[in-house]
Amino acid sequence: MGDGNILKIMKTLVEHFDYKERTTLNRMRKKPDAFKILISCLLSLRARDESTEKVSAKLFAVADSPEKIANLSLEELEGLIFSSGHYRKKARVLKGVSKVLIEEYGGEVPRKKEELLSIKGIGPKTANIVLAFAFGELVLPIDIHCHRIPNRLGWVETSSPEKTEKELEKILPKKYWREFNGIFVLFGKTICQPVSPWCSKCPVERYCWRVGVGRSR
């Protein structure tokens, strides 16, 4: 696929999706708090966006710093984040991350990717979310939608989000990096769904190679 189609697709999707308003993490960019963005991202894993917003607000009303989360008992923390799903595992991760931030970074969230990735429980997507949304770095947070859709469009042919990130860095104009995650998450949830995508109402259907699409609506 040539750069021309990538530009056409991005221009069209920017016009169709108000990504800044419609996802919890993107709304948090308005008043960035690195710790809250990090914790909300960890809570968002395998959870609906609506759930993430409610659970984050409930948690931050009680504990909005590494010290406060570290001081909660595991049972208290599990109760606060219960509705996010996988709450036991997430509670252990939040406690562990908070402890490392206190002991190794003075309670602050580090600004370097390698430091973020060195903390157990923080993966590449979460690290890039923090760097992009909290610190304004030009990086590409790649979740399952951001990995799956570029492969379906024919932009890349990759087997993991990490490989997709590297390939997109080569072909996606940097002016779209800040918008890419929010747009593709919304696009993937509403139209370009994993199974039976809504190709009949897709604004970029004419540019799509439909790789791996067996059935559509």
Fold match, 3-21+140-207 / 33-134: no
Rounded Cα–Cα distance for residues 192 and 47 (Å) = 18
Which numeric CATH code is attached to 3-21+140-207? 1.10.1670.10
Q: Would you state the pLDDT for residue 150?
A: 97
Domain ranges of the chain: 3-21+140-207, 33-134
Amino acid at 135: F
CB 200 within 8 A of CB 208: no
State how far the alpha carbon of 6 is from the alpha carbons of 1, 18, 91, 143, 207, in Å: 8, 19, 40, 19, 9
| 19: pLDDT strictly greater than 80 | no
- The CATH label, of 3.40.190.10, 3.40.50.10860, 1.10.340.30, 1.10.3720.10, for the domain at 33-134 is 1.10.340.30
Q: Could you tell me the two tokens for 157?
A: 């042919």
CB 92 within 8 A of CB 127: no
- Rounded mean pLDDT of 191-216? 95
The pLDDT confidence band at residue 20, using thresholds 50, 70 and 90, is: low
Three-state secondary-structure class, residue 155: coil
Q: Would you state the pLDDT for residue 165?
A: 97
Q: To which residue do tokens 């860095």 refer?
A: 169
| 57: pLDDT strictly greater than 90 | yes
Q: Could you tell me the two tokens for 154?
A: 């024919």
Q: Would you state the pLDDT for residue 46?
A: 79
Q: Could you tell me the two tokens for 165?
A: 């990130």
Of 27 and 154, which is predicted with more confidence?
154
| 26: pLDDT strictly greater than 80 | no
User: 127-141 burial, b for 16+ CB within 10 Å, e for fewer?
Assistant: bbbbbbbbeeeebbb
Q: Could you tell me the two tokens for 205?
A: 């259907």
Mean pLDDT of the residues in the chain: 92
pLDDT in tens, 71-87: 999 999 999 999 998 99
The residue count for the chain: 217
State percent of the chain over pLDDT 90: 82
pLDDT in tens, 96-127: 999 999 999 999 999 999 999 999 999 999 99
Confidence (pTM):
0.87
CB 82 within 8 A of CB 94: no
